Structure 1
Amino acid sequence: MLMTLFLLVPTLLIFLGLQIIGSVPVTFLLFYSWLLLAPVTDFLIVKKATRRQTLHALGLSFSRKNVWTGLVTGAIFLLAILGGGYFSHTALFDRNDLTELLASWNFTGAHIGGLILILMVVNPILEEVYWRGYMHEKLAKHYRPVTVIVVTAVFYSLYHFLSVIPLFAWPYNIVMVVPVFLARVIWGYMRHRQHSLFGSIISHILADIGIMGIYLLFLT
């Protein structure tokens, strides 16, 4: 029951922030606070683990091979996102409708630069620490590696589904969840095989830079 709660809370917070409150800044505050405080509280306060034990459990151990894997996969994701967005953005979304939606979510104005920076840097770090670090470690105690990788990818994709539906035109808003899921499977596999989180963080950062690149190119 507790494990299910930890898997579902990020989705519930995204739903509350975007669908109920309708504010990206509030969503960020709720969502990232949970991603940070849940593992920190569990390891450092509840389990009273040392800082070194916590970093090791979260996969924050340096691996040169893992870093190179992250750079290569991230570069592929970055180019695929920019290329796909460049050639198909007119079909993926209506610029005016999407601009109005983002404005209604307060993803606009003087603080837009800070929000973009959060999405490109803070978001990939905290999401990887939570899903491929914290939840991977918790699930790995009870399930096989393939189950751990798939389950974390499914629940990660679940809250992206909530944000993707209103952002893109039908049927692309459904189809777009597929590459999200596949990327998370790849990052989960990297975490399992190479016992490090740095590669998936780097790859995730490059992927999010690609997404923000599409925003800057076609929505500003």
Structure 2
Amino acid sequence: MNLVLLFLGPTLMIFLGLQVMSSVPLTFLLFYGWLFAVPAVEWFVIRRKTRKETFRQMGLVFNRKNVYHGVATGLLFFLTILLAGYFFHSFLFDRDDLQALLADWQFSGDLVIWLILVLLVINPFLEEIYWRGYFFKKLEGKRSVRAMILLTSLFYSLYHFLSIIPLFSWPYNIMMVVPVFIAGMIWGYMRYKSSSLVGSIVSHILADAGIMAVYILFLR
């Protein structure tokens, strides 16, 4: 598949789900369907790799030091997000506008707990597998390590514009993409140094948990 399409595919799915159809559940279906289907089809159907070989190539192998780094960076992200939410949520968000937007996106009612579970359980795994697993292997030997980390972090950050800009108050909505990019760079570096994706997944889970904690504690 064309490399440009692979880079832009997740952003297109977010655009269709949120901006065109205004539905978080549908966005999740399109977005996570892409993140799962593209690597699965290429590795299992086209290349006919075994599950064990695919997991190894993607970096789904245990590395104790990598996991420690994942826990440490994840806890740092969690605490930073939580403290920022506690002290600055009144500046970062317009609560009434946010609630109205989330209702329009169908992120409300009985669905909320399931959507939060998706963000905490499915999101970190599929995003890391796609960007720091699948793409790292696809670019290996074709780009330098710095270029791989930069490119994957850049396109990982791109679709966050579509979800972050409407959620935050101006001008903080533009600035909030910077931490996303930095996190992507850190997770990419962790993946490269250890050849393992597990620590990045653990760190990503804790970062997403911080975001959900801010929502539950200060914005509902």
Q: Which residue of 1 aligns with 2:48?
A: 48
Q: Structure 1 residue 134 and structure 2 residue 139: aligned? A: no
CA deviation string 1:165-189 (max 9, x = no partner): 1000111001101010000000000
Q: Which residue of 1 aligns with 2:13?
A: 13
What is the alpha-carbon distance in structure 2 between the residues aligned to residue 110 and residue 173 of structure 1? Answer: 27
Q: Structure 1 residue 65 and structure 2 residue 65: aligned? A: yes
Q: Which residue of 1 aligns with 2:193?
A: 193
Gaps of 5+ in 1: none
Identical positions, percent: 57
With the length of structure 1 as denominator, give the TM-score of the two structures.
Answer: 0.99
What is the alpha-carbon distance in structure 2 between the residues aligned to residue 137 and residue 93 of structure 1? Answer: 38
Q: Does the CA-based 8 Å contact 1:10-1:34 persist in structure 2?
A: yes
Q: SS at the partner of 1:142? A: coil
Q: Which residue of 1 aligns with 2:96?
A: 96
What is the alpha-carbon distance in structure 1 between the residues aligned to residue 115 and residue 85 of structure 2? Answer: 21
Deviation at 1:122? Answer: 0.6
Displaced runs of 4 or more, over 3 A: none
Q: SS at the partner of 1:14? A: helix
Q: SS at the partner of 2:159? A: helix
Q: CA RMSD in A?
A: 0.8
What is the alpha-carbon distance in structure 2 between the residues aligned to residue 209 and residue 8 of structure 1? Answer: 26
Deviation at 1:141? Answer: 2.9
Deviation at 1:209? Answer: 0.2
Deviation at 1:27? Answer: 0.1
Q: SS at the partner of 1:216? A: helix
CA deviation string 1:93-146 (max 9, x = no partner): 110100000000000011110000000111011100000000111112300000
Alignment map for 1:113-192 (pairs within 5 Å): 113-192=113-192
> Number of residue pairs matched?
220
CA deviation string 1:10-67 (max 9, x = no partner): 0000000000000000000000011111111100110011111100111001100110
With the length of structure 2 as denominator, give the TM-score of the two structures.
Answer: 0.99
CA deviation string 1:52-96 (max 9, x = no partner): 110011100110011000000000000000001110000001101
What is the alpha-carbon distance in structure 1 between the residues aligned to residue 136 and residue 90 of structure 2? Answer: 38
What is the alpha-carbon distance in structure 2 between the residues aligned to residue 166 and residue 204 of structure 1? Answer: 22
